């Protein structure tokens, strides 16, 4: 089935589901750039050439970074997949609407009163699409097509096989690949397929301003790669990750080439980032940061983050002040001609005036994180971590990027001021609408405790808890 046919089929299906999917009018404002948000999954802070990796190859992403701005102190709003994505697509701290924890239950998702970035861009006349992992709710009201995305090709769950899979690909399963609600039988390797679909979409929409959210599940587990890519990295100590990263880079390279071929690359605003820190189980590296996916040390939430728009942003820049994935929404919406917020008050800001030098202040004085009993805040170079039932740590990242020297006694006034500012922020939040599994919460607590004590954690999953209890 070609893409045009599949769009018609999808539209017919959506029509029968009572969902509006009108074709967007061609914009009269030719200056509106296309916007593409490329999200990697569980990629390590250090695992791209432009972030200093010497053993993983990412030539295409590196070129993209070179064409734009690299944010060196950029953060996602959560250290695990679903809440991080909830923040990204709403431009708001996800704890404000109860999406604080991972993996929404079958019947829940991102509160429908939140206006997604796709809905915001549609208001500006954009055609909108998402390719890949969703992870923000499975029911019809939480489905991408109900949240402002004209096109959805991907899967609703948090991870799946990269190859066709008997269980994942059962029609109706939330892991199945679908196109606008309709089951799709795909062939080949999913990272390549998502890249191809993104290119087909560009071909379809190249004459209109479009918004694309390209949400790779790479390099999340399972560690699946093609034979050819694995062969390229034979003997590599991180063979699977290197091969998966190479495939994602290849897909991004092909997409950028398509934009260049169509002569729309210069007026396309592209973001590239990871949804959280490298995971403990996917061979990733967050060095020189401490911690990894799921915890409140920098390795959990500081991510590689690039913004490129050759027409308006000078390439080869590094930007060092605090920035957030929450800023993507405000930036895209304002650059598309939007003013203020299309819904509730955004927590992110438009980054453009900061990277052009028009605004010399920092986009954020403070950033905050919380998932149930574990919370953190940044204020400039200061970092405070709070673990309920255990205590606090205060670090100065300028002198101690690896978060090892606790300054809470030596810097009492800083400690008290940040503690209070975290509590003030929490007053604007609600209780989580769903919570983490109890055992996973204990695992996360034990990891924080070990890292706060500058010990290696011996516990990484609930099965490790059982072993520890038997000792």
Mask for 278-317, x = binds Ca ion (CB under 5 A):
----------------------------------------
Query: Candidates 1-9, 43-51, 75-83, 451-459 — which segment interacts with Ca ion by CB under 5 A?
Result: 75-83
User: Which region among 77-85, 90-98, 160-168, 194-202 touches Ca ion (by CB under 5 A)?
Assistant: 77-85
Q: Taking the CA atoms of 225, 227, 232 and 235 in sequence, report the sign of the dihedral they define.
A: positive
**Shortest CB 39 distance to Ca ion, Å:** 9
Q: Which is nearer to Ca ion, 161 or 417 (CB)?
A: 161
Least Cβ distance, residue 301 to Ca ion (angstroms): 11
Task: Output the smallest distance, CB 15 to Ca ion, in A.
Answer: 34
**276 makes contact with Ca ion (CB under 5 A):** yes
Whichever of 190 and 335 has its CB closer to Ca ion, that residue is 190
Q: What would the DSSP string read from start to end of 158-218?
A: S---SS--TTTTSTT-TTS-EETTEE----S-HHHHHHHHHHHHHHHHTTS-EEEEEE--T
| Residues of this chain, 246-275, that bind Ca ion according to CB under 5 A | 275
Strands of 382-387's sheet in order across: 366-371, 374-379, 382-387, 391-396
Smallest separation, CB 11 to Ca ion (Å): 31
C-alpha distances in angstroms, 57 versus 49, 188, 189, 241, 306?
Answer: 6, 22, 19, 11, 17
Q: Does 41 bind Ca ion (CB under 5 A)?
A: yes
What DSSP assignment string belongs to 388-405? TTTEEEEEETTT-TT---
Residue with Cβ nearer Ca ion (275 or 347): 275
Nearest residue (CB) to Ca ion, 292 versus 333: 292
**81 versus 190: smaller Cβ distance to Ca ion:** 81
Burial of 317 per CB tally in 10 Å (0-12, 13-18, 19+) = middle
Count CB atoms within 10 A of the CB of residue 9.
14
Structure tokens at 470: 């038997």
Active-site residue identified among 81, 143, 179, 220: 81
Instruction: Pick between residue 276 and residue 284 the one whose CB is nearest to Ca ion.
Output: 276
Nearest to 356 by CA among 319, 303, 304: 319
Q: How many whole angstroms separate alpha carbon 11 and alpha carbon 23?
A: 9
Question: Shortest Cβ distance from residue 140 to Ca ion (Å)?
Answer: 25
Which residue number has the CB closest to Ca ion? 81
Residue 42 or 200: the one with the smaller Cβ distance to Ca ion is 42
Among residues 75, 135, 179, 224, the one annotated as catalytic is 135
42 in contact with Ca ion (CB under 5 A)? yes
Per CB under 5 A, does 62 bind Ca ion? no
Distances (CA, A) of 15 to 9, 12, 145, 146, 341: 10, 5, 11, 12, 29
- Per-residue interface string for the shown chain with Ca ion, residues 412-431, x marking contact by CB under 5 A: --------------------
Strand pairing category for 305-308 and 268-274: antiparallel
- Total number of residues binding Ca ion (CB under 5 A)? 5
Q: What CA–CA distance (Å, rounded) separates 42 from 277?
A: 6
Alpha-carbon torsion (189, 282, 215, 133), positive or negative: positive
Which window, 76-84, 360-368, 404-412, 434-442, contacts Ca ion (CB under 5 A)? 76-84
Window of 34-42, 229-237, 346-354, 423-431 that interacts with Ca ion by CB under 5 A = 34-42
Binding mask 113-132 toward Ca ion (x if CB under 5 A, else -) reads --------------------
Closest CA to 449 of 407, 394, 388: 388
- Helix, coil or strand: residue 227: helix
Among 81, 190, 328, 387, binds Ca ion (CB under 5 A): 81
For the chain, the residue count is: 471
132 vs 209 by CB, closer to Ca ion: 132
CA 205 – CA 196 distance, rounded (Å):
14
Catalytic annotation on 135? yes
Question: Which span sits near Ca ion by CB under 5 A: 35-43, 137-145, 189-197, 247-255?
Answer: 35-43
Coil, helix or strand for 64?
A: helix
Report in angstroms how near the CB of residue 350 gets to Ca ion at its nearest. Answer: 26
Interacting positions 122-181 with Ca ion (CB under 5 A): none
Name, in order, each residue with C-beta under 8 angstroms of 405's C-beta and a sequence gap of 6 or more.
395, 396, 399
Q: By CB under 5 A, tell whether 47 contacts Ca ion.
A: no
Compute the least distance from the CB of residue 437 to Ca ion, in Å: 17
Q: Name the residue nearer to Ca ion (CB basis): 121 or 303.
A: 303
Closest CA to 251 of 199, 322, 187, 186: 199
Least distance in Å: CB of 291 to Ca ion? 14
Cβ(329)–Cβ(121) under 8 Å? no
- The least CB distance from residue 277 to Ca ion, in Å, is 9
**Helix, strand or coil for residue 40?**
strand
| CA 1 – CA 16 distance, rounded (Å) | 20
Residues binding Ca ion (CB under 5 A): 41-42, 81, 275-276
Question: Hey, which residues are catalytic here?
Answer: 81, 135
């Amino acid at each position: 089935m070609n893409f045009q046919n599949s769009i018609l089929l999808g539209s017919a299906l959506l029509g029968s589901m009572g969902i509006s999917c009108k074709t967007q009018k061609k914009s009269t404002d030719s200056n509106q750039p296309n916007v593409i948000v490329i999200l990697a999954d569980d990629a390590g802070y250090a695992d791209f050439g432009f972030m200093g990796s010497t053993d993983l190859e990412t030539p295409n992403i590196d070129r993209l970074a070179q064409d734009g701005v690299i944010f060196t102190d950029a953060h996602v709003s959560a250290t695990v997949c679903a809440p991080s994505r909830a923040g990204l697509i709403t431009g708001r701290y996800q704890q404000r609407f109860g999406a604080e924890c991972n993996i929404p239950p079958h019947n829940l998702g991102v509160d429908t009163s939140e206006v997604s970035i796709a809905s915001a861009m549609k208001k500006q006349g954009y055609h909108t699409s998402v390719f890949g992992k969703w992870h923000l709710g499975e029911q019809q009201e939480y489905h991408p097509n109900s949240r402002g995305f004209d096109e959805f090709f991907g899967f609703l769950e948090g991870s799946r096989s990269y190859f066709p899979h008997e269980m994942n690909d059962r029609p109706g399963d939330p892991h199945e690949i679908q196109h606008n609600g309709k089951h799709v039988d795909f062939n080949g390797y999913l990272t390549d397929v998502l890249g191809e679909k993104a290119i087909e979409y560009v071909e379809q929409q190249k004459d209109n301003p479009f918004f694309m959210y390209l949400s790779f599940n790479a390099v999340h587990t399972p560690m699946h790669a093609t034979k050819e890519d694995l062969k390229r990295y034979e003997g590599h100590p991180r063979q699977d990750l290197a091969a998966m990263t190479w495939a994602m880079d290849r897909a991004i390279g092909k997409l950028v080439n398509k934009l260049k071929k169509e002569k729309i690359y210069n007026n396309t605003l592209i973001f590239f980032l990871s949804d959280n820190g490298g995971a403990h189980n996917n061979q990733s590296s967050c060095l020189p940061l401490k911690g990894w996916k799921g915890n409140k040390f920098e390795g959990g939430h500081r991510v590689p983050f690039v913004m490129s728009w050759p027409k308006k942003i000078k390439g080869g820049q590094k930007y060092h002040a605090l920035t957030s994935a929450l800023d993507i929404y405000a930036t895209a919406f304002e650059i598309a001609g939007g003013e203020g917020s299309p819904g509730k008050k955004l927590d992110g800001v438009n980054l453009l005036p900061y990277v052009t030098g028009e605004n010399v202040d920092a986009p954020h004085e403070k950033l905050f994180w919380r998932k149930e009993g574990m919370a953190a805040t940044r204020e400039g170079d200061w970092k405070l971590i709070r673990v309920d039932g255990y205590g606090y740590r205060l670090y100065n990242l300028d002198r101690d990027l690896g978060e090892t020297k606790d300054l809470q006694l030596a810097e009492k006034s800083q400690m008290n001021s940040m503690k209070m500012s975290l509590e003030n922020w929490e007053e604007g939040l609600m209780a989580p609408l769903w919570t983490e599994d109890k055992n996973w919460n204990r695992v996360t607590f034990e990891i924080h405790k070990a890292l706060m004590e500058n010990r290696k954690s011996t516990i990484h999953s609930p099965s490790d808890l059982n072993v520890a209890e038997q000792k």
